[in-house]
């Protein structure tokens, strides 16, 4: 569908920061339709607990599509307990090859506290070299801000919160209403 024929859902910024044995995933709450804010308090970071192990996932893109992907990810995690990388790779393979899943428009940041991945519909399972991953319309702003702070004295949560604050001050599709989840590595 052409960008000019329907304004589309925009927005969100999700960041994952690994530092000091902790991984923090933070996401804003804004959902926009074109130039209109539809909701300011959406929860785009979720804690999953398949098979008793904690996994945190944040999503950017279509909410319904992201929920379909999170459901699939939970199934993959249940089939491969304790193997986040394998579950993410299996999800990415399905996403790339399944005709229904190929149409889904979303991206995920996923962590189990030890590993941090970005999972995309192009079949990518990316592990950031510097322990910082960001997605969504304000993702590049949050990523740059977090990279500038990562070697300082701030912990992972402080970095994620400040990076989100900076992204919200630049990206009109990002607000300061955060959901923050933390896992110990």
Which residue numbers are catalytic? Answer: 12
On the CB side of 13, how many CA atoms lie within 13 Å of its CA? 31
How many other C-beta atoms lie within 10 A of the C-beta of residue 125?
Answer: 20
Burial class (CB in 10 A: 0-12, 13-18, 19+), 128: middle
Quick check: helix, strand or coil at residue 105?
coil
Is 171 annotated as contributing to ligand binding? yes
Is 111 annotated as contributing to ligand binding? no
CA distance 165 to 175: 8
Instruction: Return binding residues for Na(+).
Output: 168, 171, 174
Instruction: Return binding residues.
Output: 168, 171, 174
């Amino acid at each position: 569908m052409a960008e000019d024929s329907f304004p589309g859902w925009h927005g969100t910024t999700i960041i994952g920061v690994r530092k000091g044995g902790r991984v923090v995933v933070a996401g804003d709450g804004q959902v926009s339709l074109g130039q209109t804010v539809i909701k300011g308090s959406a929860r785009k970071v979720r804690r999953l607990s398949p098979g008793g192990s904690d996994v945190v996932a944040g999503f950017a893109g279509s909410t319904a599509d992201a929920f379909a992907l999170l459901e699939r990810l939970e199934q993959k995690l249940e089939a491969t307990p304790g193997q986040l990388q394998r579950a993410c790779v299996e999800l990415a393979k399905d996403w790339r090859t399944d005709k229904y899943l190929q149409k889904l428009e979303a991206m995920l940041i996923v962590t189990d506290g030890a590993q941090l991945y970005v999972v995309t519909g192009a079949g990518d399972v990316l592990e950031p070299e510097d322990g910082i991953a960001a997605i969504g319309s304000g993702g590049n702003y949050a990523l740059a801000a977090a990279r500038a702070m990562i070697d300082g004295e701030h912990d992972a949560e402080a970095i994620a919160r400040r990076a989100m604050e900076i992204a919200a001050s630049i990206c009109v599709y990002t607000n300061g209403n955060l959901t923050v989840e933390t896992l110990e590595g």
